[in-house]
Amino acid sequence: KVKFVYPKNRDSVELISCYFDSDNLLTEFRGKATLQYDHKEFSRHMAQEDLNASKLWGFDEHQPNGRAGAKVSP
C-alpha cells in the first residue's frame, strides 16, 4: 500500500515521524543529520569489508586452481 506524504500536512508529518528518526535522517529528507561523503574513506571501508567477508566465508583459505573464472579471447 502506498501512502503519499506532504510536508505541509500534519498527518503526513506524523506518519513520517513514526517510521523515521529525524535525528538520523539526512537534511535532504527534512531530517537533522548531516553527512559528508568522502570517496577515499568509503573505498577503504569497502575494501576492508571485502576482506572481512572473504575471511568469514573462507575464501581467503582456498588456493585458485586455474579452472575458475572467465577467459578473455585474444
pLDDT > 70? residue 74: no
- Distance of alpha carbon 28 from alpha carbon 51, whole angstroms: 33
Beta bridge partners of 26: 33
Does 3 map to a domain? no
pLDDT, tens only, 5-27: 888 899 988 888 888 888 888 88
- Rounded to the nearest integer, the mean pLDDT of the chain is 82
- The dihedral region occupied by 21, where left means phi > 0, alpha psi between -120 and 50, and beta the remainder, is beta
Does 48 map to a domain? yes
pLDDT > 80? residue 2: yes
Number of structural domains in the chain:
1
The residue to which cell 529525524 is assigned: 22
Q: What is the pTM of this model?
A: 0.41
Does 52 map to a domain? yes
